[in-house]
Amino acid sequence: MSEKKWITHNRGGKHRVVVTKELPGPRWLEILTLADCQVDICISTDILSVDEITTAFGERCDGAIGQLTEDWGSSLFEALKGSGGRAYSNYAVGVNNVDVVAASKEGIPVGNTPGVLTETTAETAVALTFAAARRVVESDRFMRAGKYKGWLPTLFLGELLWRKTLGIIGAGRIGSAFSHMMIEGHKMDLIYYDLLQNEELEDYVAAYNAFLSSQGEDPVNCRRAERIEEVLREADVVSLHTILDETTRHLINKERLSLMKDNAILVNSSRGPLIDEAALVDHCRNHPHFRAALDVYEEEPEMKPGLEALDNVVIVPHIGSATSWTRQGMATLAASNVAGILMGYPAWKNSDISPFLGDDPPQGRTEYRERQGDWLSPL
């Protein structure tokens, strides 16, 4: 073990599982205990290095649960395999911090925690959107500083989003849920960019329009853009919900920021490197009516210089999935991924995760890269 503080549950269990951060709720530990696992948990809030995690494996480690803040590359998977490791689960829906090819080379299935955080993260995007549009954080600071002297007609004027245009880049689970919330709640038109047409989302909007018509109200528009640039030019709010890989790094850069409306709102609750953060700082400095709302950062936990000083940027510390129910559900899925493999069950590849959240979950829920390297997309 490293010098970080560790605690052990079910000492002497048949299998040994290393968990690099304490997870919320009791159920995940119950699942691993029922699978006869000794569970060693790091309770330090510091981010563990590759060397510290490797040391924690020791001579025997059958499985591990890691965090998105850690670099799970070839070194860690070689060390895990060398300690007898047979399963790894990322405590996150994404796997951009995981070298899945390296894991597959060692024959170690990689799990993630999709589905359970969809609505929670979408709600965070809604909160960020309106915090930026209505200048909530600026107003809060103003009040706390004792500057409020009475109501004024021009005090903290923000943006009305009712019947404006919503732009979504990445119309997967979370992007679609966010769209539902904004369309139903605020009757926003929708323009989205995705590599695939989201017929389910479009059908949903069509059904909602039928309801609006029955109430004598105007419909909302919905269309898929051929290019990202169309979304940026037309939308009053642009929210990012795409994956992070080499094709999406700095997806929003200086040139694309320049296409957006001067009073547009850019929201990122996905992954920080989707935005060229230095370019965003410059853009926000030069466009005071432009607003950004960020839950994630390019070099997290650090921010690019100047970002923290901008009044037209809302910044929160990666709380997209931070509700008790969701984080406990993620822990349940992560534990089930590892416990299932260690108990000899096959990887779970069904899109329905609800059995894991019931009283008697199936044993095993992972995504796996085959030997040829074809990644099964996270559900």
Indicate the residue type of 326.
T
Largest distance between two CA atoms of the chain: 70
Active site residue 318: yes
Contact predicate 66/88, CB 8 Å: yes
Nearest alpha carbon to residue 175 among 150, 145, 155, 204: 204
Q: How far is CA 290 from CA 32, 243, 256, 266, 267, in A?
A: 48, 25, 14, 8, 11
Q: What's the DSSP call for residue 362?
A: -
Active site residue 9: no
Active-site option among 241, 271, 283, 327: 271
Contact predicate 70/20, CB 8 Å: yes
* Bond prior to 273 in cis (omega within 30° of 0): no
- Dig out the tokens for 123 from the structure: 């709600």
Query: Which run of H or of E encompasses 139?
Result: helix 136-144
At a CB cut-off of 8 Å and minimum separation 6, what does 368 contact? Answer: 104, 109, 110, 347, 349, 376
d(CA 4, CA 39): 16
d(CA 127, CA 319): 11
Active-site option among 106, 138, 229, 300: 300
Torsion sign over Cα 68, 71, 75, 79: negative
Active site residue 135: no
- Dig out the tokens for 356 from the structure: 């894991």
The neighbouring-strand residues paired with 267 are 239, 293
Q: What's the DSSP call for residue 249?
A: T
- SS3 helix, strand, coil % of the chain, rounded to 5? 35, 15, 50
The neighbouring-strand residues paired with 2 are none
Q: What's the DSSP call for residue 62?
A: S
Q: Active-site residue numbers?
A: 271, 300, 318
